[in-house]
Amino acid sequence: MSTMGKTKISMTIAGSDSGAGAGIQADLKTFAALNVYGTCVITAVTAQNTIGVLDFEIMNNKMISSQFNALISDIYPDSIKIGMLGNEEVVSLISALLSPMKNIPIVLDPVMVAKSGDQLISDSAIEIMKNSLIPLSTILTPNLPEAEVLAGMKINSRSDMLIASKKILELGPKYLLMKGGHMKGDPIDILFNQEEGLLVELPQKRINTKNTHGTGCTFSSAITAELAKGQNYVDSVKIAQKYVYSAMKTSVELGKGHGPLNHFYKLSY
């Protein structure tokens, strides 16, 4: 699974999607597609399908801690991805658990705004994320609605993305990938870092499909897998974008609503 002979391991800390298009399930499938062994810490369980979320339950802190500690004592990760956390208690717990872990890439997908525009976590949880979790992250991967919350401004153009990036980088992530899929026209993803500001712009042709469920989860977990294999941040983002684009272009027709990507797509490097 690795050119060095050692199996590379990525851990995902996120919610379970019973429809398997997003969350833990999307992360593990993405890890496998990119030849990385995936482990998981489940923070919440959802009852959902391609149409919507019917119910959910957040895991208690004891079980979340037990999952995490079981893994790091035996299957120590080469990279970590963080997705849906659910509430302020879980955000605080994950911040505390990750704080001692040094020199491991941490990819934070700040799941806080639904496709409908509704906020998924409380203002207090967002503040804890800003103060405790984002500073621990190596790369932060917000979409535009999430970037608007973090920057405290509307983002309607590339120039807005550049202004917002400076505000978000002040929160402490080493790298910031601002995903432009919510912008009109062909999307552009932009990677920034603390030292140099704008590193690379990655324009992409828009794909006209309703099967976009789990796109953000898949993008961040693909970056996580590539970082586990030792890729640098620019190349990890480029490879991840290529994987997501290909998986979306060959998306799966399932259910009556927004179907999943084709996580089984095998990327040719």
Query: Which residues are tagged catalytic?
Result: 179, 212, 214-217
- Asked if residues 265 and 243 have their Cβ atoms less than 8 Å apart, the reply is yes
Give me the amino acid identity at 62: K
Among residues 99, 88, 27, 81, the alpha carbon closest in space to that of 58 is found at 88
User: Residue 95 is encoded by which pair of tokens?
Assistant: 């911040």
The C-alpha atoms of residue 28 and residue 40 are separated, in whole angstroms, by: 8
Strand partners, 9: 37
Strand partners, 79: 10
Q: Which residue has the tokens 């994950």?
A: 94
User: Residue 166 is encoded by which pair of tokens?
Assistant: 């400076």
